[in-house]
Amino acid sequence: PPTPQAALGRARDVAQLEIEQQLWLAEYWQQRSWERGAIPAVQGLEIVKQQLGQYVQPRLVWEIFWLNSFRAPPTPDTAQNQWFCG
């Protein structure tokens, strides 16, 4: 997400899905992140999957993940480490 507000909106939208759908999305985004070499996102999404499986409040899980993913527009130095999975 390009802004913290957009990150919170994305978290809200994803948290409205059923848990199984959220886990599927986390798995999908994790695979996409792996293909791009975005290791921090892969690690963050692994935590998301663990927390969702432990019945942590989904909206909180996603808010933390997406806010952690918020970055200023990437520079060549930071582009490969970006958490953005969209």
If pLDDT is split at 50, 70 and 90, which confidence band does 12 have?
very high
pTM: 0.77
Least confident span in 4-8, 13-17, 38-42, 74-78: 74-78
What is the domain extent for residue 36? 4-69
Give the DSSP H or E segment for 25: helix 19-36
Number of domains the chain is built from: 1
**Domain membership flag for residue 57:** yes
**Domain membership flag for residue 77:** no
Q: Report how far residue 32's alpha carbon sits from residue 62's, in angstroms, rounded to the nearest whole number.
A: 17
**Domain membership flag for residue 38:** yes
**Domain membership flag for residue 80:** no
**Domain membership flag for residue 44:** yes
Where residue 73 falls (left for φ over 0; alpha for ψ -120 to 50; beta otherwise) is beta
- Are the C-beta atoms of residues 12 and 66 closer than 8 Å to each other? no
Q: Compute the residue count for the chain.
A: 86
